[in-house]
């Protein structure tokens, strides 16, 4: 029986916000790695002269992604473009989902014809009250993602439906970004969705159960989270600032990839 050959992609451009920038997969030098870098490392290992750009900047809303990143990505002529955006919008107190859907549609319509394969995602969601509060908006966003993918021939990586990625142990103390292990699993998910043979067939499998933290440990974690992350986040929302203000793209040019192995 014949099997479909593994596709050969020679370049990757990643578009998005902090999730694609790689927070909170911090390396020893203080920079962030993340799933997109891990994916690029795998693709580069099997493709000579593989090129990679990562235009993602933390805190970006979908309108900023459309204005600042989409035209650049569309001009690069990459084989694969990944687009993950809109989730920051859904977490804002005031969110026009009609506008978000329209901007996401604009992004897909501009990117899909400019590459061999566009990849979209249903973003992962941490278990807890924050997700429960914003779940309807997130699921509306993901319905839009599914519809656009079907219309434009994009692939969808369903991270939202993966049991493993809801586990709080795979999320950083800020409760907004995945740990290194979480990013590794996302890279595996995208790798497989692109048609490559699995290196970890169990990436969706939940981690082994452990005893939950005690009441005191939970309260200490809550206080730290509120002081170090929640209050600064609220302050930025009230003043119209973003954690990504003034930051350049992670890898602005489509160049041969050299970096840490997956």
Tell me the two tokens of residue 192: 């497989």
Residues in CB range of 214: below 8 A, 6 or more apart: none
Which of 105, 107, 153, 125 lies closest to 15, judged by CA?
107
DSSP E strands: which ranges in 136-243?
155-158
Judge contact between 196 and 119, C-beta under 8 A.
no
Strands, sheet with 51-54, edge to edge from the N-terminal-most edge strand: 155-158, 117-122, 80-84, 11-16, 51-54, 251-256
pLDDT digits (tens, 9 = 90+) for 156-180: 999 999 999 999 899 987 878 999 9
pTM: 0.87
What local confidence, expressed as pLDDT, does residue 93 receive? 81
pLDDT of residue 2: 46
Comparison of pLDDT for 206 and 240, the residue scoring more:
206
120's torsion region: left (phi>0), alpha (psi -120 to 50) or beta? beta
Please write the tens of the pLDDT for every residue from 175-231: 789 999 999 999 999 999 999 999 999 999 987 776 666 667 556 555 565 555 455
How far is it, in rounded angstroms, from Cα 191 to Cα 53? 17
Q: Rounded mean pLDDT of the chain?
A: 87
Q: Is the pLDDT confidence value at 262 over 50?
A: no
Q: How far is the C-alpha of 61 from the C-alpha of 51, rounded, in Å?
A: 26
């Amino acid at each position: 029986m014949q099997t479909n050959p593994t596709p050969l992609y020679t370049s990757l451009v990643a578009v998005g916000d902090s999730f694609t920038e790689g927070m909170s997969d911090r390396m020893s030098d203080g920079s962030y790695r993340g799933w997109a870098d891990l994916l690029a490392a795998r693709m580069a290992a099997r493709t000579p002269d593989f090129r990679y750009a990562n235009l993602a900047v933390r805190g970006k809303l979908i309108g900023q992604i459309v204005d600042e990143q989409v035209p650049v990505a569309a001009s690069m002529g990459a084989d694969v473009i990944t687009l993950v955006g809109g989730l920051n919008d859904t977490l804002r107190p005031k969110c026009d989902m009609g506008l978000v859907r329209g901007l996401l549609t604009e992004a897909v319509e501009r990117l899909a014809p400019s590459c061999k394969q566009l990849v979209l995602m249903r973003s992962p969601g941490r278990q807890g009250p924050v997700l429960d509060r914003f779940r309807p908006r997130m699921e509306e966003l993901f319905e839009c993602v599914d519809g656009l993918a079907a219309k434009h021939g994009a692939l969808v990586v369903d991270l939202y439906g993966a049991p493993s990625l809801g586990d709080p142990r795979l999320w950083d103390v800020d409760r907004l970004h995945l740990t290194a292990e979480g990013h590794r699993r996302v890279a595996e998910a995208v790798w497989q969705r692109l048609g490559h043979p699995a290196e970890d067939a169990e990436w969706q499998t939940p981690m082994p159960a452990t005893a939950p933290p005690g009441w005191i440990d939970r309260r200490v974690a809550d206080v730290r989270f509120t002081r170090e992350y929640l209050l600064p986040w609220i302050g930025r929302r009230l003043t119209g600032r973003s954690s990504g203000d003034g930051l350049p793209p992670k890898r602005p040019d489509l160049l041969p990839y050299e970096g840490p192995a997956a």
